[in-house]
Amino acid sequence: MSILKKLAGETLSYGFSTILGRSLNFLLVFVHTIAFLPAELGINVKLYGYMAIANIIYTYGMETAYFRYAKEAPAKYYNIILTAIIATSGLFTLCLFLFSDPIMAQLGYENKGIFLKWLAIILAIDAITAIPFAKLRLENKIRTFVQAKIVSILINVGLNLIILLVLKPMHEQGTGPEFLNNIYRPEVGAGYIFLANLIGNASLFYWLKAEFKVFKWTWDWTELRSLWVYSYPIMFMSLAAMFNLMFDRLLLEEFLPDSFYPGRSSQDALGIYGNCYKLSVFMSLAIQAFKYSAEPFFLGKKTEANDQSNLALVTHWFIIICTFLWVGVSVNLFWIKTLFLRREIYWEGIGIVPILLLANLFLGVYYTQSVWFKKTNKTYMGTIITLIGLVTTVVGNIIFIPQYGYMACAWSFLASSLVMMILCYLGGQKFDPIPYRWKAGLFYIVLGFLCIEIGNKIQFIMDIPNIIRENIGVLILLFFVLVFEFSWKGGGKFKLKH
């Protein structure tokens, strides 16, 4: 019980910043879908897809290597790893600056090289601040971590609101003072999303100044080689995982037949899919918050608290919480879509959301299980597993996009996540056996599916308000959790059975 309280407390703390931050960022879906049509947002969907991949190359697994080795000599490995990240980030960014125009032209966006330059600076900032943020997590300095993340996002969101909801309409309508009308430039358009992101990220250096103040430039080839041997499989694993997450958007535009969706171009389909995809962020929030707290804990020094049985217990409750999120979001999409996707054209893709939520649930379970190959220094196993997942995604998309459109993207991602979760479980049971409660986990996932479907069945039996009917499944799931996971104590209190 103490391990659950500890990780739950830390997850909620990180989760507060993650959820608040992502919620504010989620507001941008509302803003962007008001300001631009799907085809106009296609460049953002595509470039942010490439950026997510580039971000992994910029950090090349060193964040996880820091957690693995910093327990031996925190200051030493902090200095060595941050030195390497600063050097390589500078080199990568210089290359992107030099070739920004040809790269953007190759992608089909002539005269948009400035966008890639902005993204290159964002990538450098993200990589360089990743290690100080890891240091804060290892030292349990949650408050500084939360403040830095939230302020950065507030700046980003605030600039989006001002530029896209105030200056853009003012310029288009010719209202307001002339100097304000001239600030917004139509040729930049959706590029202002990148610029706001850049300014918000730059604010991180203020909050991390104490971590940079203690930093000392340290170049040690011997240690770097050892760190690289540990981290490069994690980089390839993360690349494969990110390709798995992003490749559907890259393949959708390429393999979707003309006029597959009547009256919609492939750019429209990409914009619809990319923005509906963002509704699955609710599951990603839980996964990210959990990773922030669990990774330093389970990769740190060996204690009784972070043994196999407790990891199994934590994974069990992770599945329960994520099942609640899957059911809760899926049954409430009828009003969530109207709140966040302001143009009805985006609602056409809403059917992908429950599938993507379940896919992210499986992916989250995979992440919780992946501790075994990080602890046992078998990081190459993670690379193999995620490459298999990537192949599943790519093959599924190439074969089925021409027949099923963006629904094929969602189902391929689900199949890939399921394959990775199963392979990680089998590998873990061989090299570092953990008594996972897989039967109970499978029960809750099947129950979750039934709870999502029950709202549709009830509408044919009784006429009750939508919000009540759709959420009956949530109450049923809660009932089963209370029955199977808790026992009744005197005084009206519940107590965990396990």
pLDDT in tens, 53-71: 898 999 998 988 888 888 7
One-letter amino acid of 206: Y
The more confident residue out of 285 and 151 is: 151
Instruction: Let me know: does 312 contact 435? Beta carbons within 8 Å.
Output: yes
Residue 1's pLDDT is what?
A: 47
The answer to whether 473 touches 455, Cβ cutoff 8 Å, is yes
pLDDT digits (tens, 9 = 90+) for 154-201: 899 899 888 888 888 888 887 777 777 778 888 888 888 899 999 999
Residue 3: the pLDDT is 56
297-344 pLDDT tens trace: 555 544 444 457 777 888 888 899 899 999 999 999 888 888 778 778
DSSP letters for 147-171: HHHHHHHHHHHHHHIIIIIIIHHHH
User: What is the predicted pLDDT for the residue at 305?
Assistant: 46
Structure tokens at 282: 């609710």
pLDDT at 368: 84
Compute the distance between CA of residue 93 and CA of residue 97 in angstroms, rounded to an integer. Answer: 6
* 27 vs 447, higher pLDDT: 447
Structure tokens at 245: 């997450």
Which residues, listed in sequence order, are joined to residue 488 by a DSSP beta bridge? 494
Residue 479: closest CA among 464, 494, 468 = 494
Q: Which residues are bridge partners to 487 per DSSP?
A: 495
Q: Six-digit token pair at 153?
A: 């996002």
Distances in Å between the Cα of 478 and the Cα atoms of 12, 37, 238, 474, 482 are 20, 40, 35, 6, 6
The per-residue pLDDT for range 347-380, each reduced to its tens digit, is: 888 999 999 999 999 988 998 888 888 777 787 8
Q: Are 485 and 320 in contact (CB under 8 A)?
A: yes
**For the chain, percent of residues with pLDDT exceeding 90:** 35
Question: Cα separation of 313 and 496, whole Å?
Answer: 12
The conformation of residue 487, written as its DSSP 8-state character, comes to E
Q: What is the DSSP string of 101-122?
A: HHHHHHTT-TT-HHHHHHHHHH
User: What are the φ/ψ torsions at residue 486 (nearest 5 degrees)?
Assistant: -125, 155
Domain boundaries, the chain: 2-436
Strands 486-489 and 493-496, by their bridges, are antiparallel
